[in-house]
Amino acid sequence: MIIGASLKVSDCASADHEAATKALIKGLTAGDRADGPKYLIHTSGTGILMHKDLESNFNKKPRTLGEAADDIYDDWSGVTQVTSLPDFAPHRKVDRLVIESDGPSLKTAIVCPPTIYGVARGPGNVRGHQLYELARCTLEKGHGLQIGAGKTFWTYIHVKDMSKVYLKLVNAALAGGGEATWGAAGYYFTENGEHVWGDVSKAVAREAKKQGLISDDQVLSVSADEGDRLTKYGSLLWGANSRCRAVRARELLGWVPIEKSLYEEIPNAVSSEARRLGLTSGHGSKVAG
């Protein structure tokens, strides 16, 4: 995204592509600085907060995922804890590249979304992953499923609410920085609530039965390995903890999320996945085997 003379690039494509990030930083810090600093807005993800579950399960067989954790990270009073997570944490390597590139010629910010849901408005992917893959797997298996005990916590955000954080940061950049924080403390979680994956699994199964798509709304526990077979990184996306509070965007940018909750999206997630699987045509349905 190229906007005017001040904001040169907004990187919203990948949380883990080191080469692309280095190329962006190199390009933004080269050439004439007479027109002031450039601004880089990078997309990370709250998968970075799963590091303790990853560490405790490193080379462990069987992996003990699906258990609750108490740690809650915030981007305001606890921002230094977030920006100094261990290097093995997901997305951490690219986060570090972005944070360490901040200086007089380049101002950086990181937007870190959790579970994203809702229909996106862009030209590319319009479907979220975690909730919709859970709905897909429930329909294909004919019952609900959870990783282990299903006690893990995540936070959630509607894609339209999330997009407003980017817009506010873009406008701040165009204003020479505005009220936003840039640099090492320029870290922005985007969340509008917290859920437990086991509870979401139960709600998805109930809704699938209500819509006549499965005959039994029971939720069965599956292993971490089975979760990974169901969807890429399923063991972590449903079986690890990622708990955060989005304070900075609310305090500095006046961000107020207003869209429906993750739980309110479940009926649409189930029906849209049923259509994708060919289980419904919009007027009728058939029970999955």
pTM over 0.85: yes
Q: What is the mean pLDDT of residues 235-261?
A: 98
E strand or H helix at 5, and its extent?
A: none
259: phi then psi, degrees, rounded to nearest 5: -80, 170
Among candidate residues 46, 182, 194, 186, the one with its CA nearest the CA of residue 113: 46
153 forms beta bridges with: 196
Name the DSSP class of 107. E
Q: Hey, is 29 helix, strand or coil?
A: helix
Closest among 62, 51, 17 to 236, alpha carbons compared: 51
pLDDT at 218: 97
Band of the pLDDT at 15, cuts 50, 70, 90? confident
pLDDT at 2: 33
Torsion of CA 38, 39, 43, 47, to 10 degrees: 100
| Euclidean distance between CA atoms 223 and 62, whole angstroms | 8
Cβ atoms 61, 235 nearer than 8 A: no
The pLDDT of residue 289 is 40
Delineate the domains of the chain, giving CATH numbers in brackets.
Answer: 9-276 (3.40.50.720)
Confidence of residue 282 (pLDDT cuts 50, 70, 90): low
pLDDT on residue 7: 45
Output the six-digit token pair for 148: 């282990």
Strand order in the sheet with 153-158: 115-117, 153-158, 194-196
> Cα(205)–Cα(110) distance, rounded to whole angstroms?
35
Taking alpha carbons only, the member of 102, 117, 98 closest to residue 42 is: 98
Average pLDDT, the chain: 91
Residue 162, token pair as written in the block: 């999330």
Which three-class secondary structure string do you get for 134-155? HHHHHHHHCCEEEECCCCCEEE
What would the two tokens of residue 77 be? 């009073």
Distance, CA of 108 to CA of 99 (rounded, Å): 7
* Gap between the Cα atoms of 207 and 147, Å rounded: 19
Give the model's pLDDT for residue 147: 98
Angle at 115 between CA 111 and CA 121, to 5 degrees: 75
**Overall average pLDDT of the 237-261 stretch:** 98
Instruction: Collapse the DSSP code of 9 into the 3-class scheme (helix H, G, I; strand E, B; otherwise coil) and give the result.
Output: strand
DSSP 205-273: HHHHHHTTS-S---EEEE-HHHHHHHSTTHHHHHHS-B-EE--HHHHHH-----SPPHHHHHHHHHHHH
E-state strands within 30-123: 38-43, 73-74, 106-112, 115-117
